[in-house]
Amino acid sequence: MSTLEAPPDNCKRPADGAGDGDVKKAKLDEDAHSSHPKWTSLNSFKFVKVLREDPQAKSVCIHATSQLKRAADQSDGDAQSAEADAIILLEKTAFDTTDSGISTLLAPDTSLQQHFNNDIYGTYDSLLAPSLNNVKTVIIFPASAKHMEKYASHESHVIYESPEDYQSITLPYIQSSSFEMQWIYNILEKKKESEFIVYEDPDPEKGFVLVPDLKWDRKSLDTLYLSAIVHKHGIKSLRDLTPEHLPLLKNILNTGLEAIEKEYGVPKSKLRAYFHYQPSYYHLHVHFNQVKFTAPGSNVVGAHNLSDVIDNIKLYPDYYQKRTIPFLCKTNAKLYKCYEAAGKI
C-alpha cells in the first residue's frame, strides 16, 4: 500500500462522540452469544475449509457452517433459522502419565498395526480405546469476519514499535477499533464461567480473577494454562503500566503463583507468568504456564515476564512509555495494514 493512500478507517483517531453505539453493539453481541447451543456431536456442521494447522501442536482450525436459531419475530411469532459461520479448533490432548493412565494405554483393547521392523526396532499404529482418543474442541459460533481473520493462517512479521509509533499508529488503532470485550466482562461480573474461577481477589484496584485459559484441556498439568484478568478497567497493555500499578502487578505475581500451587500442586518454580504484546484483547491480563509447555505467544518476541516488568518499572518509572517494543503481527491484521499505510513496513 502506498503511503499516499488513505489508511484503513480504524487507523484514524475517533471523532468526537465516537462510541455512542457501543452500548447497543454490546447488547447485540450479547444476544448473539446467548444463542450458542450445547452440541453433543459435530455432525451439525458443514465443512468449508481448513483455516490453519499446526503439526507440532497436533491441532487444526477449520471453518464450518451450522444453523443459527434466532428469537421469534414479533410479526409472526415464529423462530427464525439461518446458516451461520463457525470456527472449530481441534487439538489432540496430552497423554495421562499417571500410573492408571499408562495402564489404560497398555490395556488389551489397544491394538497394534505394524508398519516397519528392523532388528530390535518396530514402528506401529496404536488403535486406542475410544476413551483415550479425546480431542479438545473449541467452537466459536456464530463466528464473525474478525474471528475468521484472527484464526486464518497468515505470515507474521516483526514490527519494532517506537513510543512515537505507539502514539501515532497503535493507539489510534486501539481507540478507533471495536473489540469484542463482552466475554471478559461476563467473567469479571460472574455472568459466565464463574464455576471455573480458581481464585479471585475482588479488590477494585489490585484485584483479579484467575481462570483456566481456553487453550488448556484442564486435565494435563504438563500443559497447564491460566489467565489472570484484572478487575480494574482502562489498562490496555504494557504501554499503560506505571509505578501506580506495581501493587496490582505484585499481587498478581505472588498471589497468582500461590493460588495455582495450592489448587494444582504445581510449585512456583515450574510456572512462568507473562504478558503478551500486542495482547489478544486490550484489557490487562497475565498468562500463567507450566514451564515445560511452549504456549502460543510465549516466544522471545511476544512474551514479557511479569517479574521483569515489575523490575523495569522500579528502575525506570516510565520504562514502557519510552522503550521500543517489538511484536509479531500477521499480514492480514488491521494493525499491520496501519503500519504499512504509515510506511513503517
Assess whether 162 and 294 both reside in one domain: yes
Look at residues 96, 92, 87 and name the one whose alpha carbon lies nearest to residue 58: 92
Residue-level pLDDT at 80: 66
Look at residues 265, 279, 290, 234 and name the one whose alpha carbon lies nearest to residue 94: 290
For 228-269, the pLDDT digits (tens) are 999 999 999 999 999 999 999 999 999 999 999 999 999 999
C-alpha cell at 187: 467473567
Assess whether 172 and 108 both reside in one domain: no
> Whole-model pTM?
0.66
Active-site choice (276, 285, 287, 304): 285
For 195-205, the pLDDT digits (tens) are 999 999 999 99
C-alpha cell at 51: 483455516
The whole-angstrom separation of Cα 52 and Cα 256 is 33
Q: What separation in angstroms does the CA of 317 have from each of 82, 157, 239, 303?
A: 53, 30, 12, 20
- Is 285 catalytic? The answer is yes
**CATH assignment at residue 73:** 3.30.200.40
pLDDT over 90 (residue 12): no
Assess whether 221 and 312 both reside in one domain: yes
Assess whether 184 and 332 both reside in one domain: yes
Residue-level pLDDT at 321: 98
The whole-angstrom separation of Cα 236 and Cα 183 is 16
Assess whether 198 and 125 both reside in one domain: no
Assess whether 125 and 161 both reside in one domain: no
Assess whether 224 and 335 both reside in one domain: yes
Q: 335 lies in a domain?
A: yes
pLDDT over 50 (residue 300): yes
The count of domains in the chain is 2
Q: Which structural domain range is residue 237 located in?
A: 155-341
Assess whether 134 and 159 both reside in one domain: no
User: How many degrees, rounded to 5, is the angle at CA 91 between CA 90 and CA 92?
Assistant: 130
Label residue 75 by pLDDT band (50, 70, 90). Answer: low
Q: Are 114 and 122 in contact (CB under 8 A)?
A: yes
Higher-confidence position of 36 and 344? 344
Residue-level pLDDT at 290: 93
